[in-house]
């Protein structure tokens, strides 16, 4: 049986670097799963939109009637939010877009996968970017280096708590200290966290953007890192991130199969 398609759902940005980075990451996912149909859809600013991709996938289904959208089979899609935490987009925006598409496309069966975080693979991607930036050339330097884990920011308590927990997990890998920071919505800002790490006694300070792609808020993080010793790159198409997308897809597929099997057993027993 053909596996469900994977639709990576990105926010979108007026900054051209954002879409380019998303496409590079999705390209890595395709390389990891060459037999899987992987598409990208955006919530805003960039094309194609999520509804446009879903419409195209259902129209391409074998047996679909050209121009009507009617089809013999069901189009299975896993919609994977390209988000590090569960906040507004994961809880409201994306479910609403998927529900609207499902109402218009009766042969569409779409399941929203879990967001990317928390995951050890995300921590590994952050460590990769810090290493590439020269933040910890030795264990001794790591022990004297503080890290600002700088995210885009959110008003959602669940998302804020997830960033704080990720910072605690990163601290356990041997850094002098790790403090979370936010480019918007929440405090502290990146520059405040840099000063706090100096006050903590860290000889060096590195800023690790906990964001996937460049854009306005990552640029704000970079500006706030002006007094830091090291600024790492965004996570971008890190190999660990690509593996995590595949992992979340496979988890969603397994969960859907389990639910259908349970439903089948209930119908047989009835």
Evaluate whether residue 140 is within a structural domain.
yes
pLDDT at res. 180 = 98
Confidence band of 265 (pLDDT split at 50, 70, 90): low
pLDDT at res. 66 = 47
Give yes or no for residue 262 having a pLDDT over 90: no
Q: What percent of the chain has pLDDT over 90?
A: 87
- Residue 179 has phi, psi (to 5 degrees) of -125, 135
Report whether 85 contacts 158 (CB < 8 A).
yes
Give yes or no for residue 47 having a pLDDT over 90: yes
Write down the H helix ranges in 60-133: 88, 94-104, 120-132
Name the residue range of residue 178's domain.
134-231
**In terms of domains, do 143 and 106 share one?**
no
pLDDT per residue as tens digits for the range 109-136: 999 999 999 999 999 999 999 999 999 9
Give yes or no for residue 84 having a pLDDT over 90: yes
pLDDT at res. 83 = 98
Confidence band of 73 (pLDDT split at 50, 70, 90): confident
Report whether 121 contacts 244 (CB < 8 A).
yes
Evaluate whether residue 122 is within a structural domain.
no
For residue 58, the number of C-alpha atoms closer than 13 Å in the C-beta half-sphere is 21
Burial of 221 (0-12, 13-18, 19+ CB in 10 A): buried
Residue 115's nearest CA partner among 150, 166, 44, 171 is 166
Quote the pTM value.
Answer: 0.93
pLDDT per residue as tens digits for the range 238-249: 999 999 999 999
**In terms of domains, do 253 and 187 share one?**
no
Report whether 18 contacts 12 (CB < 8 A).
yes
pLDDT at res. 68 = 44
Mean pLDDT for the chain? 93
Domain with residue 141: its CATH number is 3.40.50.1400
pLDDT at res. 61 = 79
pLDDT at res. 270 = 58
Give the mean pLDDT of 63-84.
74
Evaluate whether residue 161 is within a structural domain.
yes
Which one is predicted more confidently, 2 or 147?
A: 147
Rounded Cα distance, 16 and 157, in Å: 30
pLDDT at res. 1 = 74
**In terms of domains, do 46 and 180 share one?**
no
Q: How many CB atoms lie within 10 A of CB 134?
A: 12
CA dihedral (171, 172, 175, 179) in degrees, to 10, reads 10
Rg value, the chain, Cα: 21
DSSP state of 136: -
Rounded Cα distance, 182 and 163, in Å: 9
Query: Domains in the chain: how many in total?
Result: 2
Which one is predicted more confidently, 262 or 71?
A: 262
Evaluate whether residue 129 is within a structural domain.
no
Among the ranges given (47-56, 57-66, 143-152, 232-241), the one the predictor scored with the smallest mean pLDDT: 57-66
Evaluate whether residue 20 is within a structural domain.
yes
Residue 211's nearest CA partner among 27, 62, 50, 83 is 83
Evaluate whether residue 265 is within a structural domain.
yes
Evaluate whether residue 218 is within a structural domain.
yes
**In terms of domains, do 43 and 102 share one?**
yes
**In terms of domains, do 109 and 188 share one?**
no
DSSP-derived secondary structure for 202-267 = -SEEEEEE--SS-SHHHHHHHHHTTTSSEEPPP-TT-HHHHHHHHHHHHHHHHHHHHHHHHHHHHH
Q: What percent of the chain has pLDDT over 70?
A: 93
Evaluate whether residue 14 is within a structural domain.
yes
Give yes or no for residue 69 having a pLDDT over 90: no
pLDDT at res. 115 = 98
pLDDT per residue as tens digits for the range 13-37: 999 999 999 999 999 999 999 999 9
């Amino acid at each position: 049986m053909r596996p469900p398609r994977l639709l990576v759902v990105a926010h979108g940005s007026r900054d051209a670097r954002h879409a380019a980075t998303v496409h590079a990451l999705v390209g890595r996912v395709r390389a990891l799963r060459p037999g899987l149909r992987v598409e990208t859809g955006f919530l805003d600013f960039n094309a194609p939109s999520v509804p446009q991709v879903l419409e195209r996938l259902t129209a391409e289904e074998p047996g679909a009637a050209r121009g009507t959208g009617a089809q013999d089979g069901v189009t299975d899609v896993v919609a994977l939010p390209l988000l590090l935490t569960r906040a507004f987009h994961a809880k409201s925006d994306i479910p609403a877009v998927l529900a609207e598409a499902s109402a218009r496309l009766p042969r569409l069966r779409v399941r929203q996968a879990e967001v990317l975080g928390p995951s050890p693979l995300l921590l590994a991607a952050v460590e990769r970017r810090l290493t590439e930036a020269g933040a910890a050339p030795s264990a001794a330097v790591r022990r004297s280096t503080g890290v600002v884990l700088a995210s885009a920011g959110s008003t959602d308590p669940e998302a804020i708590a997830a960033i704080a927990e990720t910072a605690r997990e990163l601290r356990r890998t041997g850094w002098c200290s790790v403090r979370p920071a936010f480019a918007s919505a929440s405090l502290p800002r990146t520059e405040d966290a840099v000063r706090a790490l100096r006050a903590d006694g860290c000889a060096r300070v590195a800023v690790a953007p906990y964001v996937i792609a460049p854009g306005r808020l990552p640029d704000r993080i970079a500006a706030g890192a002006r007094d830091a010793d090291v600024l790492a790159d965004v996570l971008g198409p890190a190999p660990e991130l690509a593996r995590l997308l595949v992992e979340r897809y496979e988890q969603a597929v397994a969960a859907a199969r389990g639910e259908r099997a349970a439903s089948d057993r209930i119908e047989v027993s009835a």
